[in-house]
Amino acid sequence: MDSQTKLTILYPNQIDYDNTYKRFNQRLPNSTIRAIFRLQMPKAIVDKHLELKKEMTKSTYPANRITHQMFHGTKTSCDPMRLISSLKPSCISNCGVCGIIREGNRCVYSGNGGGMWFARDPSVSHGYCGIRQVKAMFIVDVLAQESSDILNVRRDEAALPKFLVLFN
């Protein structure tokens, strides 16, 4: 890991692909998955997330009780299918997908008064993906003491993007 996010395209014979496909397809069965990527975020983002997780486990619950794998839909300004060949974001600004790939989830870009929203069900996050032909949804490890179908967090380091699903 270094200062840029590494994207790895996953294939149907891989366990991460199969697990992601099943979770996504259970609630959005009419969608066609175009690609699934594993994201290895920059070291600084991962380190801050792990530091918060360590801090939270000292005062509350074990790590497996505060880490929730949630969905986060976002809009694109670019054609996200270009990620398949380039494996790097192409937009400079105003693209949720490219921004999250570069910087992780950031409260400053949230239109919700500084909080970021995540859903356990991809059909809830689907509405945030916009109207483009190919949509994008992240699967994110979210740190929160509560367990809920929808989580709002107000600290950047509470969210660590793990996978990106492109679909239509």
User: Which comes out higher in pLDDT, residue 59 or 101?
Assistant: 101
Mean pLDDT of the chain: 92
Hey, where are the domains in the chain?
6-167
Segment 136-158 mean pLDDT: 96
Distance between start and end Cα atoms, the chain: 31
pLDDT in tens, 34-47: 999 999 999 999 99
**pLDDT exceeds 90 at position 128:** yes
pTM confidence score: 0.94
Query: What kind of architecture, by CATH, is found in domain 6-167?
Result: Alpha-Beta Complex (3.90)
Q: Per-residue pLDDT tens for 93-126?
A: 789 999 999 999 998 887 666 689 999 999 999 9
Cα separation, 55 vs 52, in Å, equals 5
Q: Is the pLDDT of residue 85 over 60?
A: yes
pLDDT of 68 strictly over 80: yes
Q: What is the mean pLDDT of the segment spanning 10-30? A: 96
Structure tokens at 152: 């709002």
CB atoms within 10 A of CB 138: 25
